[in-house]
Amino acid sequence: MSFMQHTDIGFGSTLTSEGCHFRLHSPDIITLEVVLFDKEGIPTARHSLERQESNSWHVFIRGIGENTGYAFLVTTATGPSAQWLLDPHAHRVQHQPASHPGYDLVTNPEWIAYTTCHDFDWQGCERPAIAPEKTILCEVHVKGYTKANPDLPANLRGTYSGLCHPATLAHFRQSGITCLQLMPIAAKADETHLSAKSLTNFWGYNPIAWSAPDERFASTDPVRECKTMIRTLHAHGIEVILDVVYNHTAEEGDGGPVFHFKTLDSHSYLKDELGQFKNYTGCGNTLDVSHPPMLQAILQSLRSWVLNYQVDGFRFDLATTLGRRQSHFSSESAFFTAIHNDPVLSSVKLIAEPWDIGPDGYQSGAFPAGWHECNDQFRDNWRSFWLHNAPVSAVAPHLLGSQAQFPAQHWPQKYSINYICYHDGFTLQDSVSFNDRHNHANGENNRDGHPDNRSNNQGTEGLAATAAIQKRRGKQKRNLMTSLLFSLGIPHLLGADLHSHSQHGNNNAYCQDNDTSWVNWALSSEEYNFRSWLQSLIQQRQTVMPVIMKAMTGKTSAPATISWLTPTGTPMDDQNWAMRQPYSCLIQADENNALFYLFNPDDYPVRFCLPSSLHSWTCLVDTAEDQLAARNIHQSDCLVRPVSMVILIPASENTGSRLIS
């Protein structure tokens, strides 16, 4: 590589064949030095950066190669005489614990970054490019998902390598998972209140270096091991979406720790008229993404993940913050415009968590074209329907893709991301086993975590229950998963739910790096049967839903028609919509492709009249059964047992070949 001018390089460290560029933006400091370290963490050299135009600091150091440790040493007008800072743009970082023998945090930094060469053999492997209507998202934590898997070598459990081990890959393939959504893998720091309680931020939503894969998931080299994981998943047809946190950093609020931006550029964070940090994230600070250097830093990080790691997309935590200019949100903000105009970033999958806790923070449906959005209303209303007393009108729109927020004419560029469970909140098993949160282990007197879980323990609090309650719980799990997978939109599964994993009623296990969060792989016969049922359900979904979803857009030769009916076959009226009662929905794409949903939330069986226009049906799903077995229905009605649902499709000569029985 040839020497490049500082105006052509990004923030942080940039290696060339002749040495390394170091560049930071900082209007708030007086002097800036980069200090180099050897493999033992001992300082070996210091180089001053020069202030350039627009408050950019730069130095080129010849002879530096990859894996050279470095940190920045700065002086300011108001701070201490010298202060260590971590490169917020680093591609690899390492925490230097104070207990390290001979290590002095007064004269040495707590965090060291490393120069990184991104050369990697991708072996010709390309991104799978799964169509949205065929996408099955599965949210997993790199460590939590594999840490307790006995089928993995002990040294690979909880690592990038464990997530792409043949045993793990076989599980994903058997489950029909097309896309892993990884909880944050960028380097993080623990909040001060957790450190004081000897707890750790297990989830990782407290970033310290956005572009550096976390070393806690690697045995030696997190950069290479993370790339190997993604390459292996791609080779098996599985996409990778990263859950990314660009709404705040680990520097917390006023009085919190200082790692980089607080000292480098005070304009990085939103502040009020008194100069105090605005806290629209609940984490102490809120990044000002309208600040040009901050916007540039975020775009640089996103492009690094796509270009250097070949990721397939991003899920943006508290994404409303990204569209803010102070308290105002706009779908035409600088961030969204920059993404749209970037040929790299506009080509990957983009998912927004469409809220933060600031003013007008709830922006569901307001994100621009090209952005799918997490749909919490889908979760709340389906849970309320099956587990409580929500009326038909609460869930019917979500069955059809929540088109008030996500109109079908905007599909596939903008879908609802449907989910019943996410990393925050109850798991599926806990949703039917606990009425109340049980978060005492978090050390906050059970005050943390959302109090509104829309859960129902079916009669007994906790996992221990009678056989009758266990049976009802199993059926409700099947109701919720069937409602998820056969609603229009992109289904999002919590990976732990494939294992009936319980967090023992903890609905905010962000600081539980133990078997509360480590997914259970030692399944009971009941748990194993549910996993097999869910795996089959996903496969069944893939046989019919893509065609229906395409027909709903109105862009095909025969747009889909929809009928809402009572069990007797008459159209629903206002009184029917306002009640929690049995009902049916017929989606007719064409004469060969249709879905007929029969819902019975009542505690007694109900017979549904079947449309005479289609004289023969095949039962695809019956949630009263704990196994999937397609069966033909030749009579004019169908019995739906208590608190269950049935999905029918037209019977034809080809039915048997397209169904998994």
Q: What is the pLDDT of residues 456-503, one digit of tens each?
A: 999 999 999 999 999 999 999 999 999 999 999 999 999 999 999 999
Q: How many helices (H) and strands (E) does the chain have?
A: 15, 30
pLDDT in tens, 227-236: 999 999 999 9
pLDDT in tens, 568-613: 999 999 999 999 999 999 999 887 889 999 999 999 999 999 987 7
**For the residues 49-73, what does the mean pLDDT come to?**
95
Percent of the chain with pLDDT over 90: 89
Whether 441 shows a pLDDT value over 90: the answer reads yes
CATH number at residue 35: 2.60.40.10
Confidence of residue 41 (pLDDT cuts 50, 70, 90): confident
Whether 659 shows a pLDDT value over 80: the answer reads no
Question: pLDDT averaged over the chain?
Answer: 94
Given a contact cutoff of 8 angstroms between Cβ atoms, the answer to whether 181 and 241 are in contact is yes
647 is a domain residue: yes
Domain of residue 649: give its range. 557-658
522 is a domain residue: no
Judged by DSSP in three states, 320 sits in helix
Give the position of tokens 């007797």: 568
Cβ-based neighbour number of residue 1 at 10 Å: 9
Given a contact cutoff of 8 angstroms between Cβ atoms, the answer to whether 425 and 139 are in contact is no
Active site (catalytic) residues: 317, 353
Given a contact cutoff of 8 angstroms between Cβ atoms, the answer to whether 280 and 356 are in contact is yes
pLDDT in tens, 404-417: 999 999 999 999 99
Report yes or no on whether pTM surpasses 0.85. Answer: yes
Cβ-based neighbour number of residue 472 at 10 Å: 18
29 is a domain residue: yes
Given a contact cutoff of 8 angstroms between Cβ atoms, the answer to whether 475 and 624 are in contact is yes
pLDDT in tens, 95-133: 987 655 555 555 789 999 999 999 999 999 999 999 999
Whether 5 shows a pLDDT value over 90: the answer reads no
What is the structure's pLDDT at 3? 35
Given a contact cutoff of 8 angstroms between Cβ atoms, the answer to whether 533 and 572 are in contact is no
Structural domain count of the chain: 3
203 is a domain residue: no
What is the structure's pLDDT at 656? 46
Enter the DSSP assignment of 228.
Answer: H
Strands in 594-600's sheet, in edge-to-edge order, are 561-565, 583-588, 594-600, 644-650, 617-622, 631-633
225 is a domain residue: no
Among the candidates 114, 139, 156, a domain finishes at 114
572 is a domain residue: yes
Among the candidates 63, 79, 114, a domain finishes at 114
Whether 542 shows a pLDDT value over 90: the answer reads yes
- H/E segment holding residue 167: helix 166-175
What is the structure's pLDDT at 658? 45
Among the candidates 315, 335, 368, a domain finishes at 368
C-alpha distances (whole Å) from 656 to each of 579, 586, 621 are: 37, 21, 14
In whole angstroms, what is the distance from residue 540 CA to residue 417 CA?
Answer: 19
pLDDT in tens, 240-273: 999 999 999 999 999 999 999 999 999 999 999 9
In whole angstroms, what is the distance from residue 353 CA to residue 333 CA?
Answer: 16
Given a contact cutoff of 8 angstroms between Cβ atoms, the answer to whether 311 and 229 are in contact is no
In whole angstroms, what is the distance from residue 261 CA to residue 287 CA?
Answer: 10
654 is a domain residue: yes
CATH number at residue 651: 2.60.40.1180
542 is a domain residue: no
What is the structure's pLDDT at 348? 98
Of 425, 364, 368, nearest in space to 397 by CA: 364
Burial code of 412-432, b = ≥16 C-beta within 10 A, e = fewer? Answer: bebbbbbbbbbbebbbbbbbb
